[in-house]
Chains A and B, each alone.
Chain A
Amino acid sequence: MARTLTLPAIQIRAPGRRVALKNTLVHLVLLASVVVVLLPYYLMISTSLKPIQEIFTDPFSGSPRAWPGRTTWTPGTTRPSAATS
């Protein structure tokens, strides 16, 4: 529609480098917000996999040193403290 008009004042901006930069910035902001929003879920899952000492010494670590040994999820483990063995 706009293309058929020949008014000189109209500029249809081509998706150039500026648009790409803007999109990158938007995605960076969104990704940062997603990290903040999903942080509690990350903590829930990573904490459930860790022995109790590690929960307090290094709460944000994602690679529990006990993994893949006995965790809270191991069958037969009834109490979180049992995973510390």
Chain B
Amino acid sequence: MSWYRTAFFIPHVTSLAAAAMVWHWLYNPDQFGLLNYLLDKVGIPPQRWLLDPLQAMPAIIAVSIWSSLGRDIVIFLAGLQSISQDYYEAAQIDGANNWQLFRHVTWPLLSPTTYFILIISMIGAFKIFALPLFLTGGGPISKTLTIVYSIYQQGFQYFRMGYASAQAYTLFAIIFLITMLQRRVLAHRVHYDI
């Protein structure tokens, strides 16, 4: 159990820059790319991964999930462990099956955890910067040009500081509005007790 937890958590404590270098190699579009090497073994033609406008963003999403999965697992695990066993026993005595146990005990009592993970993941997704920087540089036809990467590009590559600053404030407003919206929509569905 704790071995699995450790294994899944390792990517989260790895420097994203170092991990991105390895993934860059995995995603290499020629036959030296390790994923293409594996695909070749099962007879699938090599893919262009980060150079393909359709595949670049999913590829970045995969690395992003890979790096944040451990954090979410640990938080969900803590949430699950904090649910008292009494609720399950009571529901079982009332004849609840496994699905009903999940739907009416686990899911509602896990809702504060889910709510927390949803909010920090959403904010984290808006802030994605390192992966486009190291993997695609904004990507084929700007397909992986995330907001923060765009801020960096405008401010420190094109030296349009005012424009970048305006983008940064807009990003703040967007995150603020979306978090408020989530709060408005979801807060009354979060149960801290049965």
Whether the Cβ atoms of A41 and B10 lie closer than 8 Å is yes
Whether the Cβ atoms of A40 and B26 lie closer than 8 Å is yes
Whether the Cβ atoms of B93 and A37 lie closer than 8 Å is no
Interface residues on B, range: 20 to 34
B162 adjacent to chain A (CB < 8 Å):
no
Whether the Cβ atoms of B95 and A40 lie closer than 8 Å is no
Interface residues on A, range: 10 to 19
**Residue of A with least CB distance to B1:** A30
Whether the Cβ atoms of B69 and A10 lie closer than 8 Å is no
Residues of A within 8 A of B (CB): 1-2, 5, 7, 9-10, 30, 33-34, 37-41, 43-44, 56, 59-60
Residues of B within 8 A of A (CB): 4, 7-8, 10-11, 19, 22-23, 25-26, 32, 34, 37-38, 66, 69, 89, 92-93, 95
Known: A10-B93, A37-B8, A60-B38. 15 other contacts (CB 8 A): A2-B92, A2-B93, A7-B93, A10-B92, A33-B8, A34-B4, A37-B11, A37-B66, A40-B11, A40-B19, A40-B26, A41-B10, A43-B26, A59-B37, A60-B37
